[in-house]
Structure 1
Amino acid sequence: MKCHGYLPADLDALCIQATIEANKSGRGMDQLVPKDFLEAMKTIRVSALRQSTSVQKIDPVYWSDIGGLENVKVDFHKHNDNRYGPPGTGKTLLAKAVATESEANFMAVSIPDLIKGEVGESEKAISKIFRMANRCSPCIVFLDELEAIFGARESSGGLGKQLISQLLLELDDCVKGVVILAATNHPEAIDSSILRPGKCCRLDRLVYVPPPTFEERIMILEILKQSTKFSENIDLRTVSNLTNNFTGADMKALVRKAGLLALKANRTQIEAQDFFTASSEVQPSVNQFGLLRYEQFR
């Protein structure tokens, strides 16, 4: 069930690597256990995926690694989605978590990969991506910054219109097991035909990914605390009070800045004073007016 897209040669390589894992643990090749295969899978990249640079072997991201956004997580269990919201709120992280939790392959489509100089090559690039996704299903196809080349037809040039038409064809021809996720900071700029209800893979459901609430910022700090040493005297609720309108990325930047201040003071852990100083230097990436724009679209 975990060998999505594996060819016979890939299964052969998997068994060989599992044997190596068993030997490392002091067991012979006649004493393989499930753990050996799971460890071997971390080093195997199947043949079909090697043909595309867009298919990534991502580091595991679990729901528990994402602070807050509980309502958004529930929505992702149900539909193909176009998620939107301010930069740094965790849209890409959520896409990776979907791939990890569903044990699916993950294909992140880079916008530059779709822009080709020769006539017709951009359309072929889109077709190749979806053909690869169908072959490697179950697969998550993640289109980041969707508005960059799939904006409204009225404002798109000839190439933009052709790419939109090709994307619609591919979305309607997706096989079962291919999930399309897209992210954008400007939902109002995306061509309406992509968002219109249609066949199974149209992006007909929008999910707003908001900046974290007060309680969610505390949850983010708890997660960041696992990889950065905080003083036991730090009250996370106090720190959260300093971070109104901060996104998840802003919270990470705050902790990084506080850590640098602690290092400059020759301390091995972050103190409360570091957070107070850092909060005066790290500002939220989106102000209240920007947040209102997203709320109005919602």
Structure 2
Amino acid sequence: MPLGEVISVFAGQCGTQVSQAVWELMAVEHGVGPDGMLIDPSAESDYDKQSGNVFFMVDNKDRYVPRTTIVDTEPTVVDEIRCGLYRTMFNPRGLISGLEDMANNFARGYYGVPQTLIDTTINSIRKEVEHTDLLQAILFCHAYGGGTGGGTACRIAELLDTEFMKIPKIEVAVFPDHQKSCCVVEPYNAILCCSTLDDISTFSVLCENEALTDICTKKLGIERPAFSHLNRVVAQATSGFTATLRHEGPVTASLLQLQTNLVPFPRLRYLQLGLAPLCTADVMSHE
């Protein structure tokens, strides 16, 4: 049976956009509709309830609510969730936004973020922890090259590490690349972010926009992939490696086993995901 709950934290524009794809996929996998209600309640077994309880919380109206906090320092992307199809599924307390962005500057995101935004985010995560019976891990999703995803996410991670020191912290991070870079200081932001999180993260699963673009063009047959396509690939990868935390099986491993087998030393914690099969729907029908 699943060993405990997982709380996810999505930070920055990249993390917020990835969260939309991740929770849309999670809802489909667990049979949850856009309103948070089960699509077919009669088909749910006791095991389905336990596996869904890892990433979702069931409220007093039998609505499945994601155990998540989504934070960005500017409101545009978070407002897309507040006004989107899945708006009723999320707890409004977990959708946090500020008034201005961090201008792709790590130092501004780390030192210049309003303290009220940090306090609101930490309090939201605390409330999510209070709704768990056995917290298994905290999952971070952010971009290394951004101001909010880099600086502000590091600030939040440091505070959480102080408060929940023994809880494993897992990262799903998007690494900057030179082709889709929107700012010349992204490499500097990434270096500072890596240095800050070295002693905090249990392990990090890295993605890169250039590699994701190659997957979309060469494997999935998308001529001009947009960021929404890249986010869906990241969502599939996230769903794949968290499946071992949500389901049991003969070849699945617990979080402790993953850490023991894949992280020989604390600093050697950067992992690569493998995702297969990768092909178009037409090809899949003939496989």
Output the TM-score relative to the length of structure 1: 0.32
Output the TM-score relative to the length of structure 2: 0.33
Larger Rg: 1
Q: Which has the higher strand share?
A: 2
Q: Which has the higher helix share?
A: 1
**Structure showing greater relative contact order (alpha-carbon pairs closer than 8 Å, 6 or more residues apart):** 2
